[in-house]
Amino acid sequence: MIGNRLKILEIGRTLLEGVADHWAAHTDPDVEPLPDRRLLLGGDPALAAWDCEQLTVGMQGVGNGQSDDTAATAPQLGAGTSVFNTRHVIFEVTLLRCVAVVDDDGTPPPVAVLSAEGERAFRDAGMLSQALTEIASRVRQKLLEPGGIARVGQILPIGPDGGFGGHVGLFQVTSAGLA
């Protein structure tokens, strides 16, 4: 056996718990608490039900070599790592919240409501980005072998759709840990 296994479950749990811990430690009264529903997703994260506010961690997949947007690292003498024994996993961390919608009479939400939701969305994006950045350091130190990479990708808006909207944050891990 070459190396260790990718610790995908442990990283997923670290992402879910780390985002919750980051929000809990934040004392700004303008930051809305996370939803109570928090879970690891099985299956395609893009197909998860948008039926309530939630924080989820899903997985786009596991691949060989470095993830497409992970920069190549400088070779290390004695590391014995190549693209042939390196793999990556890409996670999606999704924060979904309720958003105002057009009512049954076709009346759009008031501008003040939409503006407040926009401000919340901007705060959520910043909080999620910072949480994932802090978690990347923790994952590198505790869950990866030397030379492993944990990297925060983009924080992207999703929705609104069906009264829900929010953000998805991408988190990539590249490792020579083979099972």
Residues in the chain: 179
CA dist list (Å): 51 to 164, 168, 170 = 8, 16, 22
| Averaged pLDDT for residues 20-37 | 95
What's the pLDDT tens digit per position in 62-97?
Answer: 988 776 654 444 444 344 444 456 889 999 999 999
What's the pLDDT tens digit per position in 129-156?
Answer: 999 999 999 999 999 988 899 999 999 9
Both tokens of 21, joined, read 């811990």
Model confidence, pTM: 0.86
